[in-house]
Structure 1
Amino acid sequence: MKIYFSDFFEVNPSILEEFGAFNISLINDLPLFIDPFLLFGSKKTEYQELHENILKYLTFLKTKAENGINDFAEVKSWYLFPEVKQNWFGYSKVGNGGSGLGPKFGKAFSSSIHIVFDDLGKEQVTQSSHLEKAGLFEIGVGKDNISDFTTNLIKEFLLEYTQEFTKKHIDKKHIKTINVNKVYFDYELERWMPKEYELPYLFGDFALLTPRDILTKDDNWINSNDLRGDFTRICGSIPNDQLRHEIFNYFKKSLPKPPKNKKNTQKEISLAIHNTIKQFPEIIKYYVKQKEENKVGAKNISKQKVQEVESIFIEQLGKFVELLMDKSDFYEISPESSYEESLKRINYLKTVIEDNDGYRLFYVNHQPIKREEDLQIIYRLTWFASDFDVNREPNNGRGPVDYAISKGSKDKTLIEFKLASNSKLKQNLAKQVEVYEKANATKKSIKAILYFDASEYNKVKKTLKELNLENAENIVLIDAGRKISASNVK
């Protein structure tokens, strides 16, 4: 069964590990991305140079913006990039193809870069500037944009890194010479240039390796959630007592007076914090300063997050696939309809999870998975060996459904994977898939609901009873709670 880079290109996973590369899935994107702070905080000279090159390009963009960009062709040339989908990381909803950096990002960033990076190259509070600052201002730049921009700006390094591994460890039958677009920036010509590489080639495209030690999951080390969540302590650390007083005074005035014997709601506090940061952007510099002072923390947390992804999506998933192969007919191709095949496979999953120790897949450090996105990726990676067309989260106009399984245009089944802990589960069961069915021109749908304990099970059963869905064939409850070993059962 082939899922990972090592499988398709016939390389021992230990060789990838020794090289320092992450063993990517070539079936679906995994929820990791490159954090530019890990380049800045690294002791490796090559990583520090990459961070300096990012700042060099930002300096170029800022200079052009200050001189005035009147032609959208310049924005298109300097700010717009496709997603580097060949690294198989990120937020894509189908396979590994994301939207990349489009006109919306280009216009937002080009019009605000002189504000976001006002002290670029002249930093006094912080040691350096950071691309991630763009995600701290309300300018329409999110963490996915930061990730895509970073990957594009260090693409030459990633290509050379992959080419080095390819020449040493991959059979020539898997290698192709590729002329890659937008590899490096020529500052004299002021344009992105192509370059030729020998790369691993599969499914009509090349694959790109990434070092494990520049990857993270969920958030950049510098992120808006931490900025707002640690607002009071950050502001309290500002050495300028006059500025500190003005900030706290503005914050207090921004809070509405609560009713008698009541406190301000979290929503009111969050809005006051947001308004205060907008009024005093200096707060961001002191936040970044604190982040810079904890480079070791950034490295340790990112390492832990990468290990968690490897644990779930490589080690435990590999064992889970082995169970499916050994204990069921999950991977046997069936001539049945998409609905029958989908229902049969989900029930196979249920059996393996509940009766054959498959539940272990859904625990990391003894804690159950609580992200539906992770559950959906797991499902996608276990379904790959099928003659059915599997679309993960296809969006046909009314929002993405988890999967549409089809065999021809007239035989399609929609599948929703949900956690019982989802606060909107009842709403979803009642309305969501019905809407999706209309958008996808199908009447067939299946809902698989994963629960971890008795309270979650009781909640689901109550919801199904309220909706008159207790005996619905197309709703499959899966018990992923820890099981007592047979040897310990009395």
Structure 2
Amino acid sequence: MSVFVSEELRLGSKLENLGVFDTLLDMDSNYFINIKRLKVTEVPEFSRSYDKINKYFGDIGTLLKSSNNKEDKLFRTAIKKFNFPEVRGINLGFSKGKYGAGFGKTLKEQIMKDAYDIINSGSEQPEIFHLTSLFEENVGPDRLSDMIASLIYDDIVVYTKKICVTLDINKEKYPHIEFENGLMINPYKKCELLFLPVDLLHELPIAKDWDDIDRVCSENEAIKSEINELVGEKWKKITVSQKKYYMKEFIFKNPTILQKVISNYKATAVNQYDINKNVDYLIEKIIHIILKESNVVPESHKDSYDSTLEILDGYKHWVENQKGYSVLEGVSSKNAEKIVQRTLHGLANYYCDSNGLDISPESNTGRGPVDFKISRGTDKTVIEIKLTSNGQILHGFEVQIEEYAVSEGAENKIFLIVDNGVHSERIQQVEASYQRRESLNENPAQIIIIDAKPKASASNF
């Protein structure tokens, strides 16, 4: 299970209260530094960061503008200057291990060659480099975030040291942790730990090659206008690679059009992002909260069925009595079911590890996936989860879980209903089906109901 800084250092909600991003120590979180947020941030340590970035890009642009060809000394100097090693300590991006992507030699040279062509076509604005991902292969917001982090590294260090002083994160308080030059060394990645304000972050698009180019283009009115005029409906049919080539050749190398694009880009504001909208990060947070607050006590002698009941009882207690229901408020049905499945799995995984049980989320042996299977050898229990907002809830009870049980060779079946306040009347339909099937000795799945409807504040009574 992943480890948050706040847990490792026993900080509770102190980071959150200071507006500091509570990063994972052992893997990267899917966020990136948004350069547009740097332009408007009120965090004092980053007040000059945006201008610093643009000056740096402006200097590279000057070198390329002064260069006579793509082989001379000025051009090679520009390539050397376009050097942005990954800042591992911020723990952002797609990487699930210790190392991220960064910029390689070949990619740097290609970007410089394209920037040379663009600048020498008549455009010199430093914002060209902000938009590299629109025209360059293998460049997305994760690499741009690395580039930005490298350029403002000194500002990040100053901010991190301020947070460390504020929260007493030092060798005296944490003697088991290594420190170097006033910075904590991440015990999992063996590199310095750097803090960032939530104010600067945005969600990383879920596409490793950043296929999200269509959305970006549609949001920039100047780009959208040119695409509609020159390409029209064909745009939808061409590949991402072809789209980036088109952007480079017909928009970025046309100074008149590019001026409109950059003006539109400058005028566009990016509001502060709510990091809890990132479902993966939210789920990871919730799992840790549940494990701290759940009343599940491992009992190794229990079989898979009784163990499952104990797990679900702990989860039910957290949802109904410890405001666990609040994490589903305002969440789409699809994401809500995902949150329930994965947070419950996090709790169950901890329990099973402590009891010598096996847990298989979305196990599939031929008839479709069951949400969970908890087992010890031939002793198996299958669990199917449905929210009341799911129109397939009755089908799930009468058909799905029965097929899953046959497929898994399991006699024990539990059907978990989470009442999120949408179509709660469906519970009665499932219960009526249970009564009818039980009277016919059909051995229906045991029903457990969790009330996840928003609760009124005690002050309202």
Under TM normalisation by the shorter chain, which class is it?
Answer: 0.5 to 0.7
Deviation at 1:453?
0.9
Q: How does 1:421-436 map to 2 (within 5 A)?
A: 429=368
Cα gap change, 1:431 to 1:273, in 2 (>3 Å): farther
Match of 1:166 in 2: 164
If the length of structure 1 is used for normalisation, what is the TM-score?
0.58
Cα gap change, 1:223 to 1:275, in 2 (>3 Å): same
Letter of the aligned partner of 2:17 in structure 1? E
Larger Rg: 2
Deviation at 1:141?
1.9
Tell me if the contact between 1:39 and 1:51 (Cα under 8 Å) persists in the aligned partners.
no
Deviation at 1:323?
8.4
Letter of the aligned partner of 2:361 in structure 1? I
CA distance, structure 1, for counterparts of residue 258 and residue 413 of structure 2? 50
Q: How does 1:158-197 map to 2 (within 5 A)?
A: 158-170=156-168, 171=170, 172-174=172-174, 178=179, 196-197=181-182
Match of 1:108 in 2: 107
In the TM superposition, what whole-angstrom CA distance separates every residue of 1:362-381 from its partner, at most 9, and x where no partner exists? 42546556288867875687
Q: Report sequence identity in percent.
A: 14
Q: Secondary structure at the match of 1:209?
A: coil
CA distance, structure 2, for counterparts of residue 66 and residue 78 of structure 1? 14
Matched, 1:215 2:190: no
Cα gap change, 1:353 to 1:454, in 2 (>3 Å): farther
Cα gap change, 1:110 to 1:375, in 2 (>3 Å): farther
2:393 to 439, 449, 457: 457
In the TM superposition, what whole-angstrom CA distance separates every residue of 1:114-141 from its partner, at most 9, and x where no partner exists? 315755699858673343x222125122
Matched, 1:234 2:189: no
2:132 to 128, 131, 134: 134
CA distance, structure 1, for counterparts of residue 285 and residue 403 of structure 2? 35
Tell me if the contact between 1:414 and 1:446 (Cα under 8 Å) persists in the aligned partners.
no
Matched, 1:281 2:246: no
1:317 to 281, 286, 305: 286
Q: How does 1:72-471 map to 2 (within 5 A)?
A: 81=85, 84=88, 86-93=89-96, 97-101=97-101, 106-116=105-115, 118-119=117-118, 124=123, 128-131=127-130, 133-137=131-135, 139-170=137-168, 171=170, 172-174=172-174, 178=179, 196-199=181-184, 202=187, 205=190, 206-219=192-205, 224-230=213-219, 233-235=221-223, 248=228, 250-252=230-232, 254=234, 277=247, 279-282=249-252, 286-295=260-269, 298=270, 300=271, 303-306=272-275, 308=277, 313=282, 317=286, 321=290, 324-325=293-294, 328-329=295-296, 332-333=297-298, 335=300, 343=308, 347-348=312-313, 351-352=316-317, 356=321, 360-365=325-330, 367-368=332-333, 370=335, 378=343, 388=353, 413-416=359-362, 429=368, 449=385, 451=387, 453-458=389-394, 460-461=396-397, 464=400, 469=405
Deviation at 1:100?
0.9
Cα gap change, 1:252 to 1:454, in 2 (>3 Å): closer
CA distance, structure 1, for counterparts of residue 334 and residue 399 of structure 2? 22
Q: Secondary structure at the match of 1:33?
A: strand
Matched, 1:36 2:35: yes
CA distance, structure 2, for counterparts of residue 150 and residue 467 of structure 1? 52
If the length of structure 2 is used for normalisation, what is the TM-score?
0.61
Letter of the aligned partner of 1:91 in structure 2? F
1:66 to 66, 70, 93: 70
Cα gap change, 1:465 to 1:388, in 2 (>3 Å): closer
Deviation at 1:312?
7.9
Tell me if the contact between 2:28 and 2:92 (Cα under 8 Å) persists in the aligned partners.
yes
Tell me if the contact between 1:321 and 1:382 (Cα under 8 Å) persists in the aligned partners.
yes
Letter of the aligned partner of 2:250 in structure 1? F
> Larger deviation: 33-42 or 274-283?
274-283
Tell me if the contact between 1:91 and 1:144 (Cα under 8 Å) persists in the aligned partners.
yes
Deviation at 1:41?
4.4
CA distance, structure 1, for counterparts of residue 308 and residue 87 of structure 2? 35
Tell me if the contact between 1:413 and 1:444 (Cα under 8 Å) persists in the aligned partners.
no
Cα gap change, 1:91 to 1:311, in 2 (>3 Å): closer
Cα gap change, 1:427 to 1:275, in 2 (>3 Å): farther
CA distance, structure 2, for counterparts of residue 386 and residue 57 of structure 1? 57
1:46 to 48, 66, 70: 48
Deviation at 1:293?
0.2
Tell me if the contact between 1:109 and 1:141 (Cα under 8 Å) persists in the aligned partners.
no
- Unaligned 5+ residue runs, structure 1? 180-195, 238-243, 256-265, 390-405, 418-424, 435-442
State how many pairs are aligned: 397
Q: Secondary structure at the match of 2:139?
A: coil
Cα gap change, 1:203 to 1:139, in 2 (>3 Å): closer
